[in-house]
Chains A and B, each alone.
Chain A
Amino acid sequence: MTGAVVAVVVREFLRFVRQRGRLLSTFARPLLWLIVIGSGFEKVVPTEGTVSYKQFLLPGIYGMVLLFSTMLSALATVHDREFGAIRMLLVAPLPRGVAVLAKTLSSALLGVFQAVLLLPLIWILGLRPPLTSLLEFLGALVIAALALSSLGMLLASRLRSIENFAGVMNFLMFPMFFLSSALYPASSLPGFLQPLVRADPLTYGIDLMRHPLLHGLYPVNLGADYTVRFDLMVLAGLTVVLLALACLLFGEEEHLGRILLTETPRRRTRAAPVPRVQGSEMRPAGIEPATSFRQKSRFALNFRR
């Protein structure tokens, strides 16, 4: 069982480092936000304490890294279920829950890994957290990543195809980012948005990271919103509930069966892939329908990113 978890984690990491584009976007997106948005807002937002706007923004940037990483992992899970290695997990002698746990854990660890690559930003922005705060920050990263990857896995368990997922990403990821406390203190959003702010796991994840990173500074208008204890409780509770739901829904074999079926009535009406495969014997060597289909979907995936 641990073997399976290790297998999945190793696979995800190998895939991550082999895909240059992903590695590049890990650095590009957060730096862009930090430099452009950070510099722009710094001029507009009055600083009353000893915390600069960029320093305030930094935990939000880490939150963004986690959000994008875990949601992309969830997207990869949907892709995997249609085309790839998840099928290996499903015919291996493992309870269904283990497959979900392994996926969640690897997605969370991958997110933390990407955030860790960006750790030098802390010192670049002039923050000097003591070692204990730094460890607390790492813990906060892990906890926030687990909550977000559980959410991603729950989504992945219900979504049939990547096309659906892309829509959800657009309607979920950016709202989640803007409604969190990433760019401004959560309390600064108007009252009618507060229920959404409070329903956003990213709010608590970023808040939890903000505590140790701003340790020793005196924020007045740019600080954390909730207590560490409250953040922890919400995130832990969320992780447990989301993960349990994801296991339950992923474990429902009939649902999986329906997804796995290339012969479902839904697919049958879409006749295109079938004749292509039938005609394959007449194709010249080197052109494989299955592969080109796969590559095509890969392309769609990259495109939507």
Chain B
Amino acid sequence: MLRIDYLSIGGLPPLSFEVAPGQCLTIEGPSGSGKTRLLRAIADLDPAEGYVFLDGVERSEMSAPLWRRRVRFVSAEPAWWAATARAHFPPAAKLDRLIAALGLEHVNLDRPVAELSTGERQRLALVRALADDPPVLLLDEPTSALAATNAALASEFIKFQILAGRIVILVSHDAVQIERLATARLHLADLEWPRVPESAAA
């Protein structure tokens, strides 16, 4: 269970919600409404007021690297720190099934990452994120750079991850994908600030 308690993202009212294993919360909203910032704050990549619990343990109770090994943020524009894709995966990881499920069997993992297509890199970022089996996935527009068939393949892949019991928070602009994956939806543009009682405001 991932619990967000009064998490403050600039410009938004404090957010509180829960996502259980096997559930997928989708986040929608116009550009600049704070979707990416919300995911980054949950992964503890940016400082943010408030609390985030995973199975009852707050993020500040464990080291940040340990937290991020469990709560995995996948950027909309994944970056690569080494030359080849293979260098980004744990050496002992069994990746065949992940790679096959995303239609990446043809990709040579020992080629320079820069020579792969944008779509291949985006799918490889999903492989990288799942290589060490984190319980929570924070996906920022994971299919934005994919052609229709591959996007559908990736959506099914995410669906499988949800069914397998992972906690997923998904930022997406794709109505079909949201319809297919969401067990709960959050629209950042619709949020209202909590009303202050008139007696207190005066």
Q: Do A and B come from one complex?
A: no
